[in-house]
């Protein structure tokens, strides 16, 4: 490892990593963590962002500066107007409608020009680019300038392997979209339908984006995954063998945030006082609270919200429930809340957060005993790190396959029973009734009386221990990062 310069406040870094995230919370948050992890090992990092996204993470940028971490935040203008997006829509979660996702990706690909100018002008010359799977616009310039390009895949090796094996499987493209099929070449039997595993870019509208992402993946030098070897050893190995390129599992990145302030400032400013949330949790018994949060993108319709609320009330357990602003302001739901929830024990039993919640603070609090999650990969990993078992409620994208990993492989979750992506549901149809919510909560939380639930919690605690060990010096992720930095440093010497 001798080639690496340890950061000493000077600008003399042997490696310069350029990080290019996709501007979506589930992609940006882990990359901001990754930037700090790499910089803490002495390499220089340039983190590509845009003005609105930079403003959201200003407290992190300020902290990075005050800690003397060698990270430069590079703000490129995001071409909203050119792509037909309202001004300021620089992140997927800021889009007023999901119909604007395709124009958003057009805007992303227009970043190519300003990105190229930056890469050509920046000093020192980049030793490597780490780019989100969805940032394929980086491939051309990396190739022209002979800069190694490494793909950052958001979810697990299990997910990537499942999806690649499905995609190469003839039956996947021919079978009825709701018919579950067995995924070929997996170490363990996994059955899923095409509707549940559509990939990132389903349908003809996305063909160009999909093809470019796939090409850029094939021509990349290797892959970084936000996972750790001990979580999914057989899938990490299988994936390595499949792509015949280096795969570096160097997560879970969220564990970089050890103190309260850094946990509280992930993503963007919380809509509540994090200390108040923490003291509310302090007043509850260990592992007694159910936490419900569906990530940055899911928007739940009123009839479904009411069913969730009914289930939570019937569970007789304390809970934190996170709502989006547009959900909470709906008059029908407000009425239900004021009749059913607000009078209830005057906030003793329930805490409803509208807007951005300090999820990392909440999940790592010892009073939290269960997490109702939409199965976004970051949320799952954060629960794994906290040893919190999950109720899995997938909505779309990678989430149904993530659920398979949690419930069938790791066995740290209870499946709530959703089988169809939310966008295929009829307007007033609910995926899950209140009774099913209540039942899943009692299956998950009854570990005093129920052996299955106790064993599940035990497995979750063991996974958390392994996650922490992986990130410590000498742990698998720590050592994989050492190998990655060595690889980059060697490659740039050869260039
Ligand atoms: N998150 C948060 N507060 C919220 C909603 C989300 O801190 O109120 C964070 C969460 O901790 C995770 C990320 O946003 O790090 C969401 O990523 P994930 O992959 O779970 O889901 P996505 O938002 O991409 O669907």
Q: Hey, what domains does the chain have and what are their CATH numbers?
A: 2-256+470-494 (3.40.50.2000), 267-468 (3.40.50.2000)
Encode pLDDT of 272-292 as tens digits. 999 999 999 999 999 999 999
Encode pLDDT of 234-275 as tens digits. 999 999 999 999 999 999 999 999 999 999 999 999 999 999
- Which pLDDT does position 27 carry in this prediction? 97
Pocket lining: 29 vs ligand 1, CB cutoff 6 Å: yes
Encode pLDDT of 307-327 as tens digits. 999 999 999 999 999 999 999
Pocket lining: 251 vs ligand 1, CB cutoff 6 Å: no
Radius of gyration of the chain (CA): 22
Encode pLDDT of 457-485 as tens digits. 999 999 999 999 999 999 999 999 999 99
**Contact yes or no for 488/17 (Cβ under 8 A):** yes
For the CA of 360, the nearest atom of ligand 1: 11
Q: State the sign of the Cα–Cα–Cα–Cα dihedral 268, 272, 278, 284.
A: negative
Pocket lining: 322 vs ligand 1, CB cutoff 6 Å: yes
Task: Quote the pTM value.
Answer: 0.95
- Report the nearest-CA residue for atom 5 of ligand 1: 295
- Which pLDDT does position 346 carry in this prediction? 55
378 CA to centre of ligand 1 in angstroms: 6
- Which pLDDT does position 12 carry in this prediction? 58
Mean pLDDT of the chain: 94
Q: How confident is the model at residue 4 (pLDDT cuts 50, 70, 90)?
A: very low
Encode pLDDT of 60-71 as tens digits. 999 999 999 999
First to last CA, the chain: 19
Span 359-364, mean pLDDT?
98
- Report the nearest-CA residue for atom 6 of ligand 1: 295
- Which pLDDT does position 343 carry in this prediction? 66
Pocket lining: 379 vs ligand 1, CB cutoff 6 Å: yes
- Please name which of 173, 232, 185 lies closest in space to residue 381, comparing C-alpha atoms: 232
Does residue 141 register a pLDDT over 50? yes
- Which pLDDT does position 9 carry in this prediction? 41
Pocket lining: 477 vs ligand 1, CB cutoff 6 Å: no
Which residues make Cβ contacts (< 8 Å) with residue 334, sequence separation at least 6?
328
């Amino acid at each position: 490892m001798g080639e690496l310069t340890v950061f000493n406040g000077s600008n003399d870094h042997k490696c310069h990593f350029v990080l290019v995230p996709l501007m979506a919370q589930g992609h940006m948050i882990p990359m901001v963590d990754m930037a700090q992890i790499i910089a803490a090992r002495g390499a220089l990092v340039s983190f590509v962002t845009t003005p609105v996204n930079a403003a959201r993470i200003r407290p992190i940028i300020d902290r990075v500066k005050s800690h003397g971490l060698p990270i430069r935040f590079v703000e490129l203008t995001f071409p909203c107007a050119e792509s037909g997006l309202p001004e300021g829509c620089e992140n997927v979660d800021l889009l007023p409608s999901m119909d604007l996702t395709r124009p958003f990706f057009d805007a992303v690909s227009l970043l190519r020009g300003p990105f190229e100018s930056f890469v050509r002008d920046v000093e020192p010359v980049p030793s490597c680019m780490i780019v989100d799977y969805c940032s394929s616009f980086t491939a051309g310039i990396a190739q022209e300038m002979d800069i190694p390009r490494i793909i950052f895949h958001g979810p697990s090796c299990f997910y990537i392997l499942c999806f690649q094996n499905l995609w190469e499987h003839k039956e996947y493209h021919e079978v009825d979209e709701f018919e579950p099929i067995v995924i070929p070449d997996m170490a363990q039997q996994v059955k899923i339908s095409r509707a549940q595993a559509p990939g990132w870019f389903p349908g003809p509208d996305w063909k160009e984006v999909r093809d470019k992402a796939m090409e850029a993946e094939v021509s990349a030098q290797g892959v970084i995954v936000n996972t750790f070897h001990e979580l999914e050893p057989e899938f990490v190995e299988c994936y390595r063998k499949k792509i015949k390129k280096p795969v570096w599992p160097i997560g879970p990145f969220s564990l970089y945030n050890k103190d309260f302030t850094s946990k509280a400032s992930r993503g963007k400013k919380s809509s509540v006082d994090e200390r108040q949330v923490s003291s509310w949790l302090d007043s509850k018994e260990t592992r007694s609270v159910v936490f419900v949060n569906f990530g940055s993108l899911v928007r739940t319709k009123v009839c479904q919200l009411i069913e969730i609320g009914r289930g939570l009330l019937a569970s007789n357990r304390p809970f934190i429930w996170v709502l989006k602003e547009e959900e909470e302001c709906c008059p029908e739901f407000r009425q239900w809340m004021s009749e059913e929830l607000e009078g209830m024990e005057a906030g003793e039993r329930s805490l409803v957060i509208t807007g951005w919640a300090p999820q990392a603070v909440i999940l790592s609090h010892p009073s939290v005993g269960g997490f109702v999650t939409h199965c976004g990969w970051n949320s799952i990993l954060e629960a794994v790190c906290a040893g919190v078992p999950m109720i899995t409620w997938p909505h779309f994208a990678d989430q149904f396959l993530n659920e398979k990993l949690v419930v069938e492989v790791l066995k740290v979750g209870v499946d709530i029973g959703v089988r169809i992506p939310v966008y295929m549901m009829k307007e007033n149809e609910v995926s899950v009734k209140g009774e099913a919510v209540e039942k899943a909560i009692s299956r998950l939380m009854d570990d005093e009386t129920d052996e299955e639930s106790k064993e599940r919690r035990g497995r979750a605690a063991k996974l958390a221990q392994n996650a922490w060990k992986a990130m410590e010096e000498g742990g698998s992720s720590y050592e994989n990062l050492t190998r990655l930095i060595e690889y980059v440093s060697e490659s740039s010497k050869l260039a």
